Chain A
Amino acid sequence: MKVLCNGEAQEIASGTRVADYIRQLGLDIYSVVVECDGRILTREEYGSHELQDGSVLELIRFVGGG
Chain B
Amino acid sequence: MLTIAGRKFRSRLFGGTGKFSSPEVMKEALAASGCEMVTVALRRIDLNNPADDIMSVLDRDRYLFLPNTSGARDADEAIRLARLARASGGGEWLKLEVTPDPRTLLPDPIETLKATELLVKEGFKVLPYMNADPILALRLQDAGAVAVMPLGSPIGTNQGVLTRFQIEIIIAQAQVPVIVDAGLGAPSHVAEAMEMGADAVLVNTAIAVAGDPVRMARAFAMAVEAGRIAYEAGLGAVSKDAAPSSPEDGLGFLR
C-alpha spacing A26/B49, complex, angstroms: 10
Residues A61 and B53 in contact, CB atoms below 8 Å apart: yes
C-alpha spacing A41/B84, complex, angstroms: 9
C-alpha spacing A6/B87, complex, angstroms: 17
Residues B50 and A25 in contact, CB atoms below 8 Å apart: yes
C-alpha spacing A56/B139, complex, angstroms: 38
Q: Which of B38-85 contact A (CB under 8 A)?
A: 39-47, 50-51, 53-56, 65, 67-68, 70, 83-84
Q: Which of A2-32 contact B (CB under 8 A)?
A: 5-8, 10, 25-28, 30-32
B205 within 8 A of partner (CB): yes
Which of B43, B47, B51, B84 has a CB less than 8 Å from the CB of A63? Answer: B43
Q: Which residue of A lies closest to B15 (CB)?
A: A66
Q: Which residue of A lies closest to B181 (CB)?
A: A66
B39, B83, B88, B205, most chain A CB atoms within 10 A: B88
Contact A42-B87, Cβ < 8 Å, known A64-B54, A65-B68: yes
Residues B55 and A25 in contact, CB atoms below 8 Å apart: no
Which of A5, A7, A61, A65 has a CB less than 8 Å from the CB of B88? Answer: A61
Contact A65-B51, Cβ < 8 Å, known A33-B88, A40-B83, A42-B87: no
A1 within 8 A of partner (CB): no
C-alpha spacing A62/B53, complex, angstroms: 8
C-alpha spacing A36/B16, complex, angstroms: 29
Residues A62 and B41 in contact, CB atoms below 8 Å apart: yes
Residues B90 and A64 in contact, CB atoms below 8 Å apart: no
Residues A31 and B55 in contact, CB atoms below 8 Å apart: yes
B89 within 8 A of partner (CB): yes
C-alpha spacing A8/B204, complex, angstroms: 32
Residues of B within 8 A of A (CB): 16-20, 26, 39-47, 50-51, 53-56, 65, 67-68, 70, 83-84, 87-90, 155-156, 182, 202, 204-205
Residues of A within 8 A of B (CB): 5-8, 10, 25-28, 30-33, 35, 40-43, 58-66
6 contacts between A and B (CB under 8 A): A5-B47, A35-B84, A59-B47, A64-B54, A66-B17, A66-B41
